[in-house]
Amino acid sequence: MDNIVRAVYERDADAQRARRLQWFREARFGMFIHYSLFSQVADGEWCMSVENYTKEEYEKYARTFAPKPDCADEWCRTAKEAGAKYCVLTTRHHEGFSLWNSKVNPYNSYNYCGRDIVREFVDACRKYDLRVGLYSSLMDWHHPDGWKCAFDPDARRRFTDYIEAINTELLTNYGKIDILWYDMPYPMQSSEGWNSINRNNRLRQLQPDMLINNRSKLQEDFLTPEESIKPADGAYWEACMTFNGISWGYLDPDQAMPYSYTPQKIITMLNKCTANGGNLLLNIGPSADGSVPSEAIEPLKTVGNWLRENGEAVFGERPIIGGRYTGCGVNLASASADQKTIYLWNRIWPKNGEMRLGGYMEAPRRVTLLATGEELSFTLDGHRLFIHGLPECPTDKYAGISVIKMEFDSKPAFENMSYYPHLRYGDNIAGDLVQ
Ligand code: GLC
């Protein structure tokens, strides 16, 4: 019976996947928001476990939880200004505190400070036209069955029912939800242990267009590489990244700042995702009162300004090109869906007014600077393309990453570099001596 349920579930989910994923593939850039009681501790979101707090001792943070008014508006405004298209909020992290007016979990923000943060977040997402993602931990350090479920069948039944009930609330009471972002399937080790097929099946009926990530021990709609941007084979993926390589939850900004990403690094991450068929989910960990952490404000603004001028190279359906079309030692590339337009993201700008691109077998029709539309002249010599008359400095005033747009009549023939500059890759080197 279970096998039939699984087969039917997977067949139906597969059939709908491409349609469901479309907006997500085009959106490319989302913001993760890790906010809860741990934001007051400022030792990372795992502090309750890592520092061995007792439940009673940790509960004091529920009593002092005091989000400032409009914090959710601030998160979503920041995301919008940064150019993100969706947000994902930790509605209940491993510490087990629900950020909404939950009927099944009394340990929640409404009971302690009268605030339904999920409601505020969903409203703010709608205000700024952002898609809505709700993160939901499976592991729970506060629920009495959260660890007993590992070895006690009754506790397991109660706990998996609880997991379904809280997610049912989230997916019933807040209108359309775009992503259910599970995390940490622990202590059970299998989808059967978590009853994931039956639960996800029922939850999908509440939100038929919703995406589900791969962290309930089922692959579902997309994979979630963490702290690394790794293209995955055969499935769509979203890389989630902290802002500082240290913690998802709030840290003291002065100490976190030297580890934090610069706009240039964030734009490079966006390129890696865009060129390799994935999304970037970039995290912020708001402070105790919900303020956007200060070290993230300027970099995110800069990325947003850059995206407003160069978003054409990022958003929309993009082919997976990997390192193809870069042609010059220091730039990155992305391409339009039909690959007739190639975007060169120049992290390092050529000093002498000329850019040399290897591997292009044909000339473009037109070359322009994406941000200004200014035309650039070019010549093709064999498999080398020269772009001439470049301004002396990068024209991009935000991050120094100027994008050159090259338009071709058809997808350009491009041959990867060879290890010998004058040869094309695959050219036959006579003789068999190499061993
Ligand atoms: C992990 C961590 C968690 C964080 C998440 C984000 O699994 O347990 O703290 O929320 O990754 O991807």
Which residue's CA is minimally distant from atom 8 of ligand 1?
184
Q: Residue 351: its pLDDT value, please?
A: 87
pLDDT digits (tens, 9 = 90+) for 95-137: 999 999 999 999 999 999 999 999 999 999 999 999 999 999 9
The pLDDT score that the predictor gives to residue 64 is 98
Q: How many CB atoms lie within 10 A of CB 9?
A: 17
Position in ligand 1 atom list of the atom nearest CA 46: 9
pLDDT reported for residue 428: 55
Atom nearest to 226 CA in ligand 1: 12
Which residues approach ligand 1 with their CB closer than 6 A? 34, 45-46, 183-184, 226, 240, 248
Query: How remote is the CA of residue 156 from the centroid of ligand 1, in Å?
Result: 23
How far does residue 227's CA lie from ligand 1's centre (Å)? Answer: 10
CA distances from 327 to 1, 69, 280, 361, 385 (A): 55, 50, 25, 11, 9
- Residue 116 CA to residue 25 CA, distance in Å, equals 30
DSSP 189-211: -SHHHHTHHHHHHHHHHHSTT-E
Strands 179-183 and 211-212: parallel
- Per-residue DSSP letters for 386-434? EEE---SS---TTTS-EEEEEE-SSPPPB-PBPSSTTSBTTPPPS-S--
Note if the pTM is more than 0.75.
Answer: yes
C-alpha 139 to ligand 1 mean position (Å): 11
User: Could you tell me what percentage of the chain is helix, strand and coil, using 3-state DSSP and rounding each to the nearest 5?
Assistant: 35, 20, 45
Pairing of strands 366-369, 402-407: antiparallel
Residue 145 C-alpha to ligand 1 middle, in angstroms?
21
Structure tokens at 123: 């409203």
- What is the full per-residue pLDDT of the chain (435 aa) written as tens digits? 577 888 888 888 888 899 999 999 999 999 999 999 999 999 999 999 999 999 999 999 999 999 999 999 999 999 999 999 999 999 999 999 999 999 999 999 999 999 999 999 999 999 999 999 999 999 999 999 999 999 999 999 999 999 999 999 999 999 999 999 999 999 999 999 999 999 999 999 999 999 999 999 999 999 999 999 988 778 999 999 999 999 999 999 999 999 999 999 999 999 999 999 999 999 999 999 999 999 999 999 999 999 999 999 999 999 999 989 998 888 999 999 999 999 999 999 998 899 999 989 999 999 999 999 999 999 999 889 999 999 999 999 999 999 999 999 999 999 876 666 666 655 655 555 656
Q: What is the pLDDT of residues 202-219, one digit of tens each?
A: 999 999 999 999 999 999
pLDDT at position 1 is 57
Using DSSP, state whether 80 is helix, strand or coil. helix
Q: What are phi and psi of 160, to 5 degrees?
A: -70, -30
- Ramachandran angles phi, psi of 203, nearest 5°: -65, -35
Calpha distance 119→378 (Å, rounded): 54
What gap in Å lies between CA 270 and CA 50, rounded to an integer?
32
The token pair that represents 415 in the structure block: 């041959």
Contacts of 253 (CB under 8 A, 6+ apart): 293, 294, 295
Q: Which of 184, 281, 282 to mutate to test the pocket of ligand 1 (most atoms within 8 A of CB)?
A: 184
Residue nearest to atom 10 of ligand 1 (CA): 248
Taking Cα atoms as reference points, which of 305, 320, 331 lies closest to residue 396? 305
pLDDT at 383: 84
∠ CA 352-357-360, rounded to 5° = 155
Separation of 183 CA from ligand 1 center, angstroms? Answer: 7
Ligand 1 centroid to 288 CA: how many Å?
Answer: 19
**Residue 223: strand pairing partners:** 237
Give 137 Cα–ligand 1 centroid separation in angstroms: 9
CA of 38 to the centre of ligand 1 (A): 13
* Ligand 1 atom closest to Cα of residue 135: 10
What distance in angstroms lies between residue 185's CA and the mean position of ligand 1's atoms?
Answer: 11
State which of 38, 227, 238, 248 you would mutate to test the pocket of ligand 1, scoring each by most atoms of that ligand within 8 A of its C-beta. Answer: 248
Pocket test for ligand 1, best of 223, 226, 283 (most atoms within 8 A of CB): 226
Measured between alpha carbons, how far is 36 from 66 in angstroms, rounded to an integer? Answer: 10
